[in-house]
Amino acid sequence: MTERTADDAAVTARVSTGRLRGAARSGVARFLGVPYAAAPTGRRRFAHPEPPEPWEGVREAVSPGPTAPQLPYEGAVGEILPSVVIPGEDFLHVNVWAPEGAAPGSLPVLVWFHGGALTRGANALAAYDGTAFARDGVVFVAVNYRLGSEGFSVLDGAPLNLGLADQLAALRWVSREIAAFGGDPGRVTAGGQSAGASTTAALAVHPEGGRLMRRAILQSGPLLAAAPEKAGRITRMVAEELGITATREAFAATAPEDLVAAQHRVASGAGPLTGGPAFSLAVDGDLVPRSPYDALRAGAADHLDLLMGATSEEHRLWMAPTGMDRALRRPVLAAVAVRFGIGPGTLRRLRARRPGMSTGMLVGAVLGEVLLERPTRRVADARARRGAATHVYEFGWRGSAAGLGAAHCMELPFVFDRLGTADAEALTGPGAPQDLAGAVHGAWVEFVRTGDPGWPVWTRGSAPRGWNGS
């Protein structure tokens, strides 16, 4: 995240809570750490978000704000996915990038919800720098929200899905305030990747969330929500680890860093491939009355343009760097195939994509089929039958770093047009094709502007738009 330097010019904006001083460089203004809700501390901890307090004078908005309590990724994955930890309690804020001098209410808006398995991530990560979007005429808003135990616990006496409630509060803030940065509140696209795509889907099918956006982008996001009993498994394990009850009172009396440490201990080794306890959206009858998958198939967001897809080798992020691809054997493949009803024909099709793939990689491909590819096709087919506009992609360009290939997250440096940066090269390796980044980023910009990324809407039997590069 770029802080103000001597080469930057000061710029100001006024929102309903006060005046802001940001910084501008090369025609792009940025305002960092702008609160959309009050700090979730004291009586506001494990409660729905409340509006931010007004401030006197001019608030400096040139440095990244605090991050939600979390621990970095570890081991080989930690070398690929960077983390940033900025101390402070006032972490419910947004970062805004906008074309300098944009007329109020004149430009389309992209609101971005970061991924990180609902336990990690922040708008302060360099990967989510919105400069390229603002350069190309889009007001870009990156959102922080409560994570892990603070945001997705299942507790007696506390609302469910508080991190999602934060995101809804951020969309409300955008509707109220984005005109001050040049954004049109009637032309908002909400988007995210991985867990951020899952929550974006939940917002899109929510009655209020769906009114606060015109379009949605879902990148590599499982469309799942669990019953509270299942979603609360990790909460109960954290409580047991700490010797407390799974109640709001007990969790609110525990320091955030202690909750983070406990959730890390009980979830160690858990992941998309290994299973184990993990945070998830919980069906609550309010914010998440049913899974986003079921709601999308039933038509809950048919009024929205939808761009959705995944990478062609999602599983490699968790398998190649850790050696899991070499560790899994045929009995595991057989068990996974039986569990998810994957027949020999599907296995042959998955093998044909990458001749010579290991058994472990085939296990990962099966899980990618079940969690992402099949739900995407079924949602797109259901929407197509009703005439709802859906554009589907598959990102297949293969990076050279750490054997990642076309792994989970690989599309992000292309979407954000940030090739050549240190965080991008940790994923892609050197020499990633800039022409592909220009094409992918340009497609996302056009979708935000018009709803048309440049290829036909999905019809039953369509193939995704492939991004394989050169």
Q: Domain residues of the chain, as ranges?
A: 9-301
Q: What is the predicted pLDDT for the residue at 443?
A: 98
The whole-number pLDDT of residue 338 equals 86
Strand 9-15 versus strand 28-35 pairing type: unpaired
Query: Rounded to whole angstroms, what are the CA distances from 363 to 21, 76, 245, 315, 372?
Result: 51, 20, 38, 9, 14
In the chain (470 residues long), the average pLDDT of successive 10-residue segments reads 71 98 97 98 98 97 97 91 95 98 96 97 97 98 98 98 98 98 98 98 98 98 96 97 98 98 88 75 96 98 98 91 81 86 88 84 88 95 98 96 93 97 94 97 98 97 86
Using alpha carbons only, what angle is made at residue 280 by residues 119 and 295, rounded to the nearest 5 degrees?
A: 135
Report the pLDDT value the prediction gives residue 2, as an integer from 0 to 100.
54
Strand 93-99 with 139-143, pairing: antiparallel
pTM over 0.85: yes
pLDDT score, position 276? 72
Give the contacts of 317 (CB within 8 A, at least 6 positions apart): 77, 80, 404, 407, 408, 409
Q: Domain 9-301: what homologous superfamily? A: Alpha/Beta hydrolase fold, catalytic domain (3.40.50.1820)
The pLDDT score that the predictor gives to residue 181 is 98
pLDDT of the residue at 364? 87
In our burial notation (b when 16+ CB lie closer than 10 A, e otherwise), range 190-218 reads: bbbbbbbbbbbbbbbbbeebbebbbbbbb
The catalytic residue positions are: 194, 314, 408
